Amino acid sequence: MKRTDKLLAAMPENTAALLHNPSNIFYLSGYTGEGLLLVGPEMRAVITDFRYVEAAQKQCPGFAVHAIRAGVSHVQLAHELLQNAGIGRLAIEDNVITVRGMREIEKAMPGIEFIPLDFKPEKLREVKDDDELSRIERACDITCQAFEYICGFIAPGRTEREVQLALDYKMLQLGAEGLAFDTIVASGENGSLPHAVPGEREIREGDMVTIDFGARFEGYDADMTRTVAVGQPSEKMRRIYEIVLHAQETAQAAIAPGMKCSDIDKIARDIITEAGYGDCFGHSTGHGVGIDIHEEPRVSSRSQQILTPGNIVTVEPGIYVPGLGGVRIENTCVVTETGVRALCGASKELRIL
């Protein structure tokens, strides 16, 4: 079943959906330019402007492409299309549209009844099809290859920023269309900052270096973290590494259809807490990955969601000790019919560079 058909099947009859969120638009149509998507019974329309008409026609077979004209806005054009099709009800992305945007829509569409779309496209996006999985696998392959390269580049005297630039360049060289997010390189005591911004700190003998990065391939993201050692790390950091590795591997191995997200989180959290570092693991264990780097399902203590085949989630426990440093190990994984498959093949054993 086509994605647009699935969306319509989840909505009331004789109702169209108006999409503003670029990730939802890409998911439903393949379109990457600016504009809106209108999906209704017998209606598949991209509403854009002159700049994107040709691109939209190429990217979205099966969609009619409409360009705005002088004096007619995107939403006014959408209203014309609804009226021509006799559709009187419109679902709006209530998680995306601002108060100002909603007022504009209401003004441009007299007589239309509005209902919330209520995350329906995001819900569909939680389960990846084979095409989506193969794109994410490719993104993860590029990410792993870039990691092998960067292990040979990291050395005492290199700055975090130099490592970041070399890693980003390598991912692009290997075929990434872009980066899934800003690469994190956190060395030594900076490792205690889960989202450290790479800076001018020079890597030193004895440091651990946490690298969190991912390639983007054909619209889909990879997410991977490895912590490596440069020379021999302290006994304390070595011990922290073993705890995080154990938590990562145990939680990842527990992933299977029917498992509750909060239970996966608990497995990782209990191991870290029992080792005495419960206060040093202040984020959730993982998150969904796809067109967006953070999407559903969340692998957190608050998520009652049940995992299902086709979900793609990260497992990324960490321990962060201010003044000392940190360790995080992360794989992107797919939930299979019988269990789990990690998409980041790079070894998780401590690498001493």
Site residues (CB under 5 A) for Mn ion?
Answer: 223, 314
| Residue 8 token pair | 């319509």
Rounded-to-integer distance, Cα 47 and Cα 65, Å: 6
Q: Which residues contact 134 (CB under 8 A, 6 or more apart)?
A: none
CB 218 within 8 Å of CB 135: yes
**Sheet containing strand 340-342, strands side by side:** 295-299, 286-288, 312-315, 331-335, 340-342
Identity of the residue, 29 or 305, whose beta carbon is nearer to Mn ion in the bound complex: 305
Min. distance of Cβ 228 from Mn ion in angstroms?
17
E strand segments, the chain: 15-19, 36-40, 43-48, 64-67, 89-92, 113-116, 178-179, 184-187, 208-213, 215-217, 220-221, 224-229, 286-288, 295-299, 312-315, 318-321, 325-328, 331-335, 340-342
Which of 191, 221, 326, 318 has its CA nearest to residue 265?
318
Identity of the residue, 207 or 223, whose beta carbon is nearer to Mn ion in the bound complex: 223
Find residue 64's DSSP bridge partners: 45
Q: What's the half-sphere exposure (Cβ side, CA atoms, 13 Å) at 45? A: 25
Identity of the residue, 109 or 312, whose beta carbon is nearer to Mn ion in the bound complex: 312
Min. distance of Cβ 256 from Mn ion in angstroms?
20
| Dihedrals phi, psi of 309, to nearest 5 degrees | -55, 135
Min. distance of Cβ 23 from Mn ion in angstroms?
17
CA–chain centroid gap for 313, Å, is 9
Min. distance of Cβ 224 from Mn ion in angstroms?
8
Find residue 220's DSSP bridge partners: 217
Q: What is the DSSP letter of 140?
A: H
Rounded-to-integer distance, Cα 269 and Cα 303, Å: 14
Q: Which residues contact 130 (CB under 8 A, 6 or more apart)?
A: none
Min. distance of Cβ 31 from Mn ion in angstroms?
27
Min. distance of Cβ 132 from Mn ion in angstroms?
18
Min. distance of Cβ 223 from Mn ion in angstroms?
4
Q: Which residues contact 2 (CB under 8 A, 6 or more apart)?
A: none
Min. distance of Cβ 74 from Mn ion in angstroms?
34
Min. distance of Cβ 328 from Mn ion in angstroms?
9
AA letter at 101: G
Q: Which residues contact 346 (CB under 8 A, 6 or more apart)?
A: 144, 147, 148, 224, 226
